[in-house]
């Protein structure tokens, strides 16, 4: 006999969430599920509430926080240099052991609905593409004679983060560029270095490569907390840690201050947009791979919605043309990579990054407003690999400012990367090589020349 569902067992919020889910309104459904299940899918604390690992007084700090940098050793990455107190996972959306028994008697319909949303939220936490297995951690990079891959940590009032720094064998103390690389969820510096092969490029084009590491204490999936307002501002939270670490390395080595760049993948790409938006005087250009616009979300539900549909805030900027130029009067040059089959972070987010960082006169009707720019479009294909489209948007004076790479058929993975790392697509154009080429053509405060053909 088929059992009938007793509607009295259902919270009205769950019934409404069921309707919203069927209608495709996942953001609203997620919010209702959070309330109905008593916070089981609760988003991170509000912006005015201090995170467990950050003193309340520091959340409102405006000037850059002072910090210290400590070199630990030379060798494979270790997640945390010293034991830290147990902290609440900022993005924890999974059921906890010993959860209240009431949750176990939620109706079958509510359970199915919760499972569906939990599955989507889990994909957010790990940013796991269906076609790419998780690699727990790549083996330490093989370092050429004379090169160093140094482990260290940086501390300020916002907390502590570890890092790895690659010093190429050809570094002799002369001024060199610095490239900061922000990994994606579940990754670490060794894994990201292996997958992107940026260290190999540093041997060809001398530069230092800094890999900040997100801690499991700050986010259980080691995602950068790009969706938290407290981690979206200069002078506090994770931006202060990344910027402080960057400055310490620049002060410790002979870094060309006009050639400091930042790049990232997925959650790291989203944080890279925040760093470029909030520290334009520090970073000369940014590379965003499968990421999202700066401040695309303010909590977990809005982050999920942005990943699936694009940022509502960025869409509003696109429709009205208001906001971006006021927030970023002098946006830094950006190069954006995104697969057009990415089901983890919708490709629309890549277009919205372009909107945010395209200065007045460079936006085009398809992704923004303003005078029609001069744009060049190149289509090509990697030998025995993926096709791509590269669109370069130019200033009215003719200099390129924004470069957009659409990799056809690619999902949520670093294009042209090595299979030795996680979340890579070796068949795509070499994103690391193209980003470094773009970076070196864009020193701070100088117009760049026309990009040459590559790949």
Longest distance between any two alpha carbons in the chain, whole Å: 80
Q: Taking Cα atoms as reference points, which of 440, 439, 433 lies closest to residue 454?
A: 433
CATH number of 409's domain: 3.40.50.1820
321 shares a domain with 176: yes
In this prediction, residue 338 carries a pLDDT of 99
37 shares a domain with 156: no
Q: Give 87-154 as a DSSP string.
A: ---TT--SPPTT--GGGGGS-HHHHHHHHHHHHHHHHHHHT--TTS---S-PPPPPPPTT-EEEEEEE
Please state, rounded to an integer, the average pLDDT across all residues of the chain: 75
**Is the residue at 35 inside a domain?**
yes
Residue 63 pLDDT > 50, yes or no?
A: no
* Confidence grade of residue 314 (pLDDT, cut at 50, 70, 90): low
In this prediction, residue 351 carries a pLDDT of 94
Residue 454 pLDDT > 90, yes or no?
A: no
Rounded-to-integer distance, Cα 290 and Cα 417, Å: 14
Q: Higher confidence at residue 75 or residue 361? A: 361
Q: Taking Cα atoms as reference points, which of 421, 114, 417 lies closest to residue 289?
A: 417
33 shares a domain with 176: no
266 as an active site residue: the answer is yes
**Is the residue at 30 inside a domain?**
yes
**Is the residue at 450 inside a domain?**
no
**Is the residue at 95 inside a domain?**
no
The token duo for 209 is 């490569």
Q: What is the DSSP letter of 429?
A: -
Rounded-to-integer distance, Cα 428 and Cα 27, Å: 32
Contacts of 118 by beta carbon, 8 Å cutoff, 6+ apart = 41, 93, 94, 95
What is the tens place of the pLDDT at every residue in 374-421?
A: 789 999 999 999 999 999 998 777 788 999 999 999 999 999 999 999
Rounded-to-integer distance, Cα 97 and Cα 14, Å: 23
* Confidence grade of residue 158 (pLDDT, cut at 50, 70, 90): very high
SS3 category, 309:
helix
Please state the rounded mean pLDDT for residues 430-448: 89
292 shares a domain with 168: yes
What is the tens place of the pLDDT at every residue in 263-287?
A: 999 999 999 999 999 999 999 999 9
Please state the rounded mean pLDDT for residues 418-438: 98
In this prediction, residue 90 carries a pLDDT of 30
Determine contact, residues 72/148, Cβ cutoff 8 Å: no
**Is the residue at 142 inside a domain?**
no
Q: Which domain holds residue 179?
A: 148-440
Residue 131 pLDDT > 50, yes or no?
A: no
The token duo for 261 is 């760049």
**Residue 13 CB burial class (10 angstroms; 0-12, 13-18, ≥19):** middle
Q: Give 377-411 as a DSSP string.
A: EEEEE-TTS-EEEEEEEE-TTS-EEEEEEEETT--
In this prediction, residue 58 carries a pLDDT of 37
311 shares a domain with 177: yes
Please state the rounded mean pLDDT for residues 310-334: 60
Q: How many CB atoms lie within 10 A of CB 83?
A: 7
* Confidence grade of residue 59 (pLDDT, cut at 50, 70, 90): very low
In this prediction, residue 31 carries a pLDDT of 56
**Is the residue at 118 inside a domain?**
no
As a whole-number percent, the residues of the chain with pLDDT over 70 amount to 60
What is the tens place of the pLDDT at every residue in 30-54?
A: 555 555 444 333 333 333 333 333 3
CA distance from start to end of the chain:
63
In this prediction, residue 360 carries a pLDDT of 66
Residue 101 pLDDT > 60, yes or no?
A: no
418 shares a domain with 290: yes
**Is the residue at 296 inside a domain?**
yes
What is the tens place of the pLDDT at every residue in 167-181?
A: 999 999 999 999 999
The token duo for 256 is 């060309």
**Is the residue at 262 inside a domain?**
yes
Rounded-to-integer distance, Cα 397 and Cα 131, Å: 43
Residue 8 gets the label, from left (phi > 0), alpha (psi -120 to 50) or beta, of alpha
Alpha helix locations (H) across 293-398?
300-309, 312-320, 324-327, 348-357
In this prediction, residue 29 carries a pLDDT of 58
Determine contact, residues 349/296, Cβ cutoff 8 Å: yes
Residue 239 pLDDT > 70, yes or no?
A: yes
The token duo for 396 is 């009215």
- Among residues 221, 266, 311, 415, the one annotated as catalytic is 266
Q: Higher confidence at residue 211 or residue 10? A: 211
In this prediction, residue 396 carries a pLDDT of 72
Domain count of the fold of the chain? 2
* Confidence grade of residue 199 (pLDDT, cut at 50, 70, 90): very high
Give, in degrees to the nearest 5, the angle at Cα 434 between 433 and 440. Answer: 90
Contacts of 96 by beta carbon, 8 Å cutoff, 6+ apart = none
* Confidence grade of residue 20 (pLDDT, cut at 50, 70, 90): low
In this prediction, residue 26 carries a pLDDT of 54
């Amino acid at each position: 006999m088929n059992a009938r569902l007793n509607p009295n067992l259902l919270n009205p919020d769950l019934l409404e969430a069921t309707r919203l889910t069927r209608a495709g309104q996942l953001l609203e459904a997620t919010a209702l599920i959070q309330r109905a299940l008593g916070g089981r899918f609760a988003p991170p604390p509000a912006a005015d509430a201090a995170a467990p690992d950050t003193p309340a007084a520091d959340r409102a700090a405006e000037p850059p926080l002072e910090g210290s940098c400590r070199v630990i050793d030379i060798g494979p990455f270790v997640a945390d240099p010293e034991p830290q107190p147990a902290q609440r996972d900022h993005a924890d959306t999974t059921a906890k052991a010993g959860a209240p028994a009431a949750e176990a008697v939620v109706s079958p319909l509510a359970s199915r609905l919760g499972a569906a949303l939990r599955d989507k939220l889990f994909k957010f936490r790990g940013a796991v593409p269906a076609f790419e297995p998780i690699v727990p951690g790549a083996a330490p990079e093989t370092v050429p004679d004379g090169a160093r891959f140094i482990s260290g940590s940086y501390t300020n009032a916002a907390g502590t983060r570890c890092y790895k720094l690659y010093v190429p064998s050809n570094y002799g103390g002369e001024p060199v560029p610095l490239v900061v690389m922000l990994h994606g969820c579940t990754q670490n510096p060794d894994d990201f270095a292996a997958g992107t092969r940026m260290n190999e490029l540093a041997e060809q084009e001398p530069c230092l490569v800094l890999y900040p590491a997100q801690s499991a204490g700050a986010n259980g999936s080691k995602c950068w907390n790009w969706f938290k307002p407290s981690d979206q501002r200069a002078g506090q939270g994770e931006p202060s840690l990344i910027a402080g670490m960057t400055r310490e390395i620049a002060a410790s080595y002979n870094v060309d201050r006009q050639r400091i760049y930042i790049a990232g993948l997925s959650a790291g790409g989203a944080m890279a947009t925040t760093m470029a938006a909030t520290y334009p005087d520090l970073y000369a250009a940014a590379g965003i791979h499968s990421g999202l616009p700066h401040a695309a979300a303010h909590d977990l539900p809005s982050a999920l919605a942005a990943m699936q549909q694009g940022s509502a805030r960025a869409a509003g900027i696109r429709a009205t043309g208001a906001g971006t130029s006021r927030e970023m009067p002098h946006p830094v040059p950006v190069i954006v990579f995104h697969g057009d089959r990415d089901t983890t972070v919708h490709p629309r987010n890549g277009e919205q990054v372009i909107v945010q960082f395209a200065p007045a006169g460079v936006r085009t009707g398809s992704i923004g407003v303003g005078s029609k720019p001069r744009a060049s479009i190149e289509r090509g294909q990697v030998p025995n690999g993926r096709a791509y489209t590269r669109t370069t948007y130019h200033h009215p004076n003719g200099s390129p400012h924004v470069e957009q790479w659409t990799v056809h058929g690619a999902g949520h993975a670093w294009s042209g990367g090595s299979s030795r790392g996680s979340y890579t697509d070796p068949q795509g154009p070499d994103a690391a090589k193209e980003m470094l080429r773009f970076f070196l053509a864009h020193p701070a405060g100088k117009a760049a020349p026309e990009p040459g053909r590559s790949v």
